[in-house]
Amino acid sequence: MSLQTEAVGLPSRFDIIRIEGFPLLPVLILGGIAFVAIFANVLAPYDPEIGSLAARFRPPAWQVGGSGEHLLGTDHLGRDVLSRLIFGARVSMVVGFTAVIVAGVIGTGLGIVSGFLGGWVDQVIMRITDTWLALPALTFAIFLTAIVGPSEMNIVIILGAVYWTRYARVIRGEVLSLKEREFVKLAIVAGCSKRTIMARHILPNVLNSAIVLGTLMLGVVIVTEAALSFLGVGVPPPKPAWGLMLADGKKGMMVGYWWLTVLPGVCIMLMVLSANLIGDWLRVKLDPQLRQL
Amino acid sequence: MVVLEAAGLSKHFRARRGFFGGDRGNVRAVDGISFAIESGRTLGVVGESGCGKTTTAKLVLGLEEPTGGSIRFEGQDLHALDAAARRHYRKSVQAVFQDPYASLNPRMRISAIIAEPLTTNERLTAGEVRGHVLRLLDLVGLPNRSADLFPHEFSGGQRQRIAIARALALSPKLVVLDEPVSALDVSIRAQILNLLRDLQAELGLSYLFIAHDLAAVAHMSHAIAVMYLGKIVESGEAQTLARAPKHPYTQALFSAALPSHPEDRREEIVLSGEVPSPLRPPPGCHFHPRCPHAMARCGKQAPALDDVDGRLVACHLYGASTAAAAA
């Protein structure tokens, strides 16, 4: 009897976070951030870019000296931290998702062409990929921003340009095995052109891998965006990006203005962690071949 | 009438050994074989794995370019075809492959899979295509509602029926069947083979039937060619060849197949050793190291394919080849 109750048993500690493997908490967090980002205008109590110098360095509401007016305090220009975090979510979401999509489209496209056509096309694309991968991503991104100048749009393009190589590698590998499959041979026998085969037979079959890779890349891209903003070559101020908030707040750390750094830091951490956990789950769920990645 | 004729067809793959590419050998996957497939008839090709059966199929399908010899389709050399004639050839020769799980794109609906050859080669309205698809499904004995399902919803035998329907979409003259039943359950094999035979009778198709299963080949074929290490060692009418094989290799193959009656007694020939590497085939007759009747000259001289009792045999046991070898 005790055996049976144990089999159905009490949920282990992990089951609270992942019911039957589904990463509930990460999905809720990422979903929550997305919701906040979409409805930032409605949710934020103040304009994130305008503050009053009279209300500088107000602590969060629950601390001595805090007030209900600014729930999470204010920064060195008297701007409401909560409002800035809410609008910062929008920046992270927009930059993160679009950069992942840009990288995914470039990388998947090149990976398919490279793997399917083979020969010198493959050689050229793969050698470029090798060279690209040899460059340290963050340094490379800083270098590129230094050339084109920082703006949200440029950051998206730069992150896409830096991170497409990972897609290209993985997708090319998939295509190499896919193109030996019999349905591809039969498509050739049926007289399909190479373009048709790539679009109709190869692309739909690598889409799973591309999506899984995209979820895993989301975390990397968001951290890179935050790092670029922190270093001052990312989203230009006064736009409220989390990385930028960290950079602005770091001087206040030692004098006790902890909320200026800890809060955006926690936001970045939660978002990246959630994205990675969802990615891990999707990877196992959709594509057992990618498990070793 | 001869639909497809191969003369001296060869496919050699270059093998690279060593880091600097030194000491290259040639793998003679297909080495100067000739055969003809007549309209409405089946040519069976048998042999162990690695003997060049599948490479032959790929050559006929145009998936590989031959390194020597020629293929003539309805009297015209494939190599000399212009674009329009090439397209006509593509439409006339279709294929069914071994693995029904790999030969259907898992992301396409059955209707799209079957219709692909049609939509690629002809301008048809959606309604016409749908009509064709339903007629083809009917032809291979699948219900109409199959059209809107995905491949994973079917069993191996059903998938192979879908693959056959697709191969028939363009009303081809020749269908290359590369081990069409090897991956299927024994209980399903006979169904698929009978379906293929019925379709041949109904549509006047020619088949190039490739298999390692002798019983299936003998059941299906009008003519049989036996391959060993890239060469045809014996070929002729299916009945004559199955009843009285001449080449020691053919004899061994047929003796290894199960008799049709459990109490049948017959001589069992057991071959020793493995198929030699095609990279370094033995000199003379490729079969001589494993042959129970090997003679001294077998290791020196390759026997020519000669007429023996109404079929072609490449073996020194049947003296006729002496003259050819001396020449």
State the pLDDT at residue A13. Answer: 52
Selecting from A188, A201, A204 the residue whose C-beta is nearest the C-beta of B63 gives A188
Closest CA to B152 of B144, B143, B162, B142: B162
- Band of pLDDT at residue B176, cut at 50, 70 and 90: very high
Is the Cβ pair A183, B104 closer than 8 Å?
Answer: yes
pLDDT of B86 over the 90 cut: no
The residue extents of the domains of chain B are 2-326
Minimal-distance CA residue of chain B relative to A182: B103
CA-CA distance, A222 to A242, in Å (whole number)? 10
Asked if ipTM goes beyond 0.90, one says: no
Q: If contacts are CB pairs under 8 Å, which of residues 102-131 in chain A contact chain B?
A: none
State the pLDDT at residue B324. Answer: 46
A215 to A96, A99, A271, B322: CA distances (angstroms): 10, 12, 12, 72
Question: pLDDT by residue (tens digit) across B199-242?
Answer: 999 998 999 999 888 888 888 899 999 988 888 888 888 888 87
Q: What are phi and psi of A16, to 5 degrees?
A: -70, -35
Mutate to test the interface with A, among B81, B92, B116, B210 (most CBs of A within 10 A): B116
Q: Nearest 5°: CA angle at A136, between A133 and A141? A: 105
Chain B residues within an 8 Å CB radius of A208: none
Q: How many domains does chain A have?
A: 1
- State the maximum Cα–Cα separation within chain B, in Å, rounded to a whole number: 68
Is the Cβ pair B108, A200 closer than 8 Å?
Answer: yes
> Is A230 inside any structural domain?
yes
- Please count the helices (runs of H) and the strands (runs of E) in chain B: 10, 12
Is the Cβ pair A196, B93 closer than 8 Å?
Answer: no
Q: Is A39 on the interface with B (CB under 8 A)?
A: no
B240-244 own/partner pairs: CB under 8 Å, 24+ apart: B240/B309, B240/B310, B240/B311, B241/B311, B242/B214, B242/B218, B244/B309
CA-CA distance, B215 to A271, in Å (whole number)? 63
Percent of chain B with pLDDT over 70: 91
What is the nearest CA distance from B37 to chain A, expressed in angstroms?
19
Which fold would CATH assign to domain B2-326?
Rossmann fold (3.40.50)
- Band of pLDDT at residue A72, cut at 50, 70 and 90: confident
Average pLDDT across chain A, whole number: 82
Question: pLDDT by residue (tens digit) across A2-56?
Answer: 444 444 444 455 544 444 567 888 889 888 888 888 888 887 777 777 777 777 7
Question: pLDDT by residue (tens digit) across B268-282?
Answer: 677 777 777 777 778
Percent of chain A with pLDDT over 70: 90
A277 to A198, B207, B239: CA distances (angstroms): 31, 54, 65
Is the Cβ pair A190, B120 closer than 8 Å?
Answer: yes
Domain that holds residue A100: 95-238+277-292
A275 vs B26, which has greater pLDDT? A275
State the pLDDT at residue B95. Answer: 92
- Band of pLDDT at residue A291, cut at 50, 70 and 90: very low
Instruction: Write out the two tokens for B120.
Output: 């690629």
- Band of pLDDT at residue A264, cut at 50, 70 and 90: confident
> Is A12 inside any structural domain?
no
pLDDT of B38 over the 60 cut: yes
> Is A224 inside any structural domain?
yes
Is the Cβ pair A182, B98 closer than 8 Å?
Answer: yes
> Is A153 inside any structural domain?
yes
Question: pLDDT by residue (tens digit) across B257-266?
Answer: 666 666 666 6
Q: Nearest 5°: CA angle at B244, between B235 and B179? A: 50
pTM of this structure: 0.79
B302 to B228, B299, B315, B317: CA distances (angstroms): 13, 8, 8, 12
A41 to A38, A74, A83, A88, A178: CA distances (angstroms): 8, 18, 9, 12, 47
- Band of pLDDT at residue B137, cut at 50, 70 and 90: very high
CA-CA distance, B48 to B129, in Å (whole number)? 40
pLDDT of A135 over the 50 cut: yes
State the pLDDT at residue A1. Answer: 39
CA-CA distance, B294 to A147, in Å (whole number)? 78
> Is A78 inside any structural domain?
no
The CATH number given to whatever domain includes residue A192 is: 1.10.3720.10
